[in-house]
Chain A
Amino acid sequence: MSGGVDSAVAAARAAEAGHDVTGVHLALARNPQTYRSGARGCCTLEDARDARRAADVIGIPFYVWDMAEQFHESVVDDFVAEYAAGRTPNPCLRCNEKIKFEAVLDRAVALGFDAVVTGHHARLGADGLLRRSVDYGKDQSYVLAVLTAAQLSRAMFPLGDSTKALVRAEAASRGLAVADKPDSHDICFIADGDTRKFLADRLGSQPGDIVEATTGAVVGQHAGAYAYTVGQRRGLDLRISAPDRNPRYVLSITPSTNTVTVGPASALEVSTVVGTRPIWHSSDFSVECSVQLRAHGSVFPASVAFDGSSLVASLASPARGVATGQAMVCYQPSPDGDIVLGSATISETS
C-alpha cells in the first residue's frame, strides 16, 4: 500500500472478496526526506501515514516493510548503471520485477501468504494471462509484462476492470481519504524530478563530444553521455546547426567513447528490435502481434520471433526513438483487453 488511491481500493476489494488481507507499505528510502514528498511520490512519511489510515478504514492489519536495501541494489543502482551503459531503464518495471513480485512476494509466501495484491491497472484472469486494463490511458500492463508466469500465479490486480475515475469514486464512497490524492508521476527516488542532475551526482562530470552521424563532425559538447536518451531533441545545446536546418535528435549513445551521436529524425527510424531477457507466455514461437516499445508509447504491428534467449520484432512500419534498456512488450489484440504474450529488454535496433 503506497499511500495512494489505487492500492487502497485494491486492498479494500481483496478484503471484501473474503481474502485474509494484510496491508504492507514498503519503506524504500534510506532517508525518507530524500524522496519525493507529499502526494507526488510513493516513499514518504506522509504516504506511510496515508496507507496506514486506509488500512484502518478497510479494517486490515498494517505493517511497514523495510525494503530500502533491496530497492537500492535492484532498482536505484541498476538505474544508474543502465544509464552509464548508454541505455534508458524503466525503474518502475524493475521495481515490479525485483521488489514487489520478488522480494515482497518471496517474503510473503515464506510467511504463509498466498499472493501479492497491488493496485496496478491491468487484468489478470483465471486463465493466468495478463491483459491491459479497461482504462487504456491508465493501463500498467507494460510495467508488469516482465513478470514470469510463476510470479503472475501469485499476483492479484483487482482494479483491472475499473477505470481510474471509478476507482476514485469507489474510494470516496468507502471513506478513504486518499480518494482525491493526485496520481504519482516521475521517479519516486529522484526528489526534485531532475534525472540528469541525479545521474550527474552519481556518475560525475564526463565531458565529451556530440557528433553528427552523417558527417562525423563535432557539433557540440556534453557533460556526460549517460544523461541522453535515444530520440531526445531538447537540451542538446548544439553550436553548429545541421546543413539541412532540420532539428536533430539523439541517435545513439556510445559509452566506450563517451560520444553522443545526433542526426535527423529520419535516421531514428528502426524496423527491427531485438530484446534480451525474454519472458514468453505463448506456445507459438513466431507470432503476428502488436509491440509497445516504451511506457505509454504507441503500438506497432510486428512479426515477433522467440528463440529461447531473445525476442526479435520485425515492425510492419518503422518506429522512431526506440531506446535500448526499455521494454518491448508484445500484445495479442483482444476485445477483452490486449493479452501480454511476452516481453524483453531492448538490446539492439536497426
Chain B
Amino acid sequence: MSYLDHAATTPMLPEALDAFVAAARAVGNASSLHAPGRQARRRVEESREQIADALTARPSEVIFTGGGTESDNLATKGIFWARRAADPRRNRVVASSVEHHAVLDAVTWLERHEGAAVTWLPVSRSGRVSAADFAEAVSGDDVAVATVMWANNEVGTLQPVPELAALAASAGVPFHTDAVQAVGQVPVDFAASGAAALTVSGHKIGGPIGVGALLLGREVECTPLLHGGGQERDVRSGTLDVPGIVALAVAVELSVKTQRETAERIGRLRDDLVARVHAAVPGAILNGDPTGRLPGNAHFSFPGCEGDALLLLLDAQGIACSTGSACSAGVAQPSHVLIAMGAGDAEARSSLRFTLGHTSTVSDVDALVAALPGAVERARRAGAVKSR
C-alpha cells in the first residue's frame, strides 16, 4: 500500500507508541492524592513541560484536550464567550474562509446560536489571507476573537501567522491559530508567534488519535466548554488521559526536534511527486501556494475528472489519498477551501490531495505516478458520461 494521506492521520511514531503502551499499563488517576495518582500526575506534568519546551510556551499554557476539534472549539467559543461577557459590545468573530471545519462550524454555530457577527476573511487564489484585510477586520471595537489557521489542511498554504497575530495584538484582540497541520512540518514557536491560543493535535504528528492540546496564553480568558472536575486550569474538565498525553508529548518533542530534516526530506519527495504528476498528467493543476506551503502537501485539480472517481480507482490499486471533506453520509463535497480560492464547483470536485509524512518513501511516489495516468483517463471517461 502507498499511504499518501498523512494529513488525515499519520502512523504513530514507535517511540510514542511505546510510551503510550507503557503508560497505559500503569494505574493512576492524575487527580488522586495517593502514590499511583501522584505518579500519573507526574507523567502528565512532565509531558506538559516537554510540550511547552518544544513549542516555546509556559507549562501552565498547555491545556490538554481530546484533540484538535475540541481545542478549536474551546478557543473560538471559549474566548468569544469570555470576551463578550467582559464587554457585551464584543460580539464579532474574525475568521478566514478556509478554516478547518472544527473552526468553521464552531464559528458558524456562534453565529446561529449566540448571535455572533462574523467577518469571513477572503483568501487569494493561492489560499492566503491578506494582512491588510485582517487589519481592517480587527480594527473595530466589537471584535471578540480572531482565528486564522497556521497551515491549511487541504491545499497546504501557510498563513502569515506572526504578522496577523501582531496586528491582532495591536488591536487588542486575542488571536487563535489552528496549527494542527503545521507542528512538525514548519517551525512553530508559540511565544514568538504572538498568538493568544494555538491548537495542537496528536495524531497528525505521530501521536495517538483522541488527544491534543490548546496552548492558551496565561492572561487569556476562556470560558469552559466542558464542566466537571476542572482538571485543566478550570478551563477544561475530564480525567486526564495519561497514556495519550504522554504519547502526545513524545510525538510533539520528536516531530519538533526532527522538523527541519523531515521538512527537507519530504519536501524534496513532494517536489518530485509534483514534477512527476505534471509530467504524467498534462493539464493537472497544482493548487495552493507554489512555495509557501506545507512540505508534505501536494494538492491537484485534474480537469474533467471527479475526485471521488479518482480516489476509488487509486484505492483499488492500493494508493490511499483524499478528496478533502465528505459529509456524514460519505458524499464527497466540493471543498469550501477551493471555492474560497475562486475555483468553480467542477474544479473543486476534480481535486485530490496527496500528503506525505514520516514514513513516506520514493516508492510511494513511484506507485502513484504509475497508477495515475490510467486512473485519470478512466475518471475522465466517467466525467464525460456524467456531463452528457
Contacts and interface: CB of A to CB of B under 8 A. Distances in A.
Contacts of B378: 110-112
Given A22-B312, A22-B316, A111-B309, A64 B331 contact: yes
Interface in B294-332: 308-309, 312-313, 315-316, 326, 328-332
Interface in B122-157: none
Contact of A65 (B308, B316, B381, B385): B308
Nearest to A48: B329
Most chain A CB atoms below 10 A, which of B313, B384, B386 = B386
B329 A106 contact: no
A80 to B, nearest CB: 23
A171 B62 CA distance: 51
Nearest to B309: A111
B379 interface: yes
B382 interface: yes
A45 B328 contact: yes
A61 B329 contact: no
Contacts of A107: 309, 382, 385-386
Contacts of B329: 25, 27, 32, 45, 48, 64
A73 B313 CA distance: 27
B312 A63 contact: yes
Nearest to A62: B330
B310 to A, nearest CB: 10
A52 interface: yes
B330 A110 contact: no
A103 B315 CA distance: 22
A66 interface: yes
A: contact size bracket: 10 to 19
Contacts of B384: 110
Contacts of B316: 22, 61
Interface string B332-362: 1000000000000000000000000000000
Contacts of A32: 329
A252 B316 CA distance: 54
B381 A110 contact: yes
Contacts of B315: 61
Interface string B353-388: 000000000000000000000000011011011100
A65 to B, nearest CB: 7
A25 B308 CA distance: 13
B313 A63 contact: no
Most chain B CB atoms below 10 A, which of A52, A61, A63 = A63
Given A65-B308, A107-B382, A107-B385, A112 B313 contact: yes
B120 to A, nearest CB: 23
B384 to A, nearest CB: 7
Interface in A101-120: 103, 106-107, 110-112
Contacts of B379: 111
Interface string A25-65: 10100001000000000000100100010000000010111
Nearest to A106: B385
Interface string B73-94: 0000000000000000000000
A27 B329 CA distance: 8
Contacts of A61: 312, 315-316
Given A63-B308, A106-B385, A111 B332 contact: no
A102 to B, nearest CB: 9
Contacts of A63: 308, 312, 330
Interface string B218-245: 0000000000000000000000000000
Interface of A: 22, 25, 27, 32, 45, 48, 52, 61, 63-66, 103, 106-107, 110-112
Interface of B: 308-309, 312-313, 315-316, 326, 328-332, 378-379, 381-382, 384-386
Given A65-B308, A103-B386, A107-B382, 7 more contacts: A27-B329, A45-B328, A45-B329, A65-B331, A107-B309, A110-B378, A110-B384
12 contacts: A22-B312, A25-B329, A32-B329, A52-B330, A61-B312, A61-B316, A64-B326, A65-B331, A103-B386, A107-B382, A110-B382, A112-B313
